């Protein structure tokens, strides 16, 4: 399956979904002007991927900021993952958050409560290069 990759900008996160490397990650800041235009291709890619998924899928979120519109789309991604887990696929989520960012930690807690997925929250030291 073709790799899905976008380079992050000031307003959009970097996205990489690579079945060969087993990397599924959204990272950076998410406040795209048109959230549907940005996130719908990701949801479409996931639908195709789950027709012949890897044995195990670990989806990583490593966001430093997201706006309200993006939060809905992130939930849509998580709900897609949950749907496929219910169909017997092995899926887990890693939610990385800057160790001093209580809002991002709490966002991870809230998402973890909304979906039935193995959900690990991991604090990390934010470097200026991560912004």
Q: Please report the pLDDT score of residue 63 as a whole number.
A: 96
Would you state the pLDDT for residue 128? 53
Q: Is 77 exposed, middle or buried (0-12, 13-18, 19+ CB in 10 A)?
A: buried
pLDDT at 129: 52
Q: What is the pTM of this model?
A: 0.93
Tens digits of residue pLDDT in 45-74 = 999 999 999 999 999 999 999 999 999 999
Tens-place pLDDT, residues 81-113: 999 999 999 999 999 999 999 999 999 999 999
């Amino acid at each position: 399956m073709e790799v899905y990759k976008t380079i992050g900008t000031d307003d959009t996160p970097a996205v990489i979904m690579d079945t060969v490397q087993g990397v599924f990650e959204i990272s950076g800041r998410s406040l795209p002007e048109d959230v549907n235009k940005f996130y719908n291709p990701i949801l479409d890619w996931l639908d195709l991927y789950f027709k012949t998924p890897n044995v195990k899928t670990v989806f990583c979120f490593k966001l430093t900021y997201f706006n309200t519109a993006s939060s809905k789309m992130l939930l849509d991604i998580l709900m897609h993952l949950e749907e496929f887990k219910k169909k017997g696929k092995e899926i887990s989520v890693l939610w990385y958050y800057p160790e001093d960012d209580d809002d991002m930690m709490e966002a991870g807690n809230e998402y973890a409560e909304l979906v039935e997925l193995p959900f690990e929250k991991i604090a990390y030291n934010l470097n200026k290069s991560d912004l």
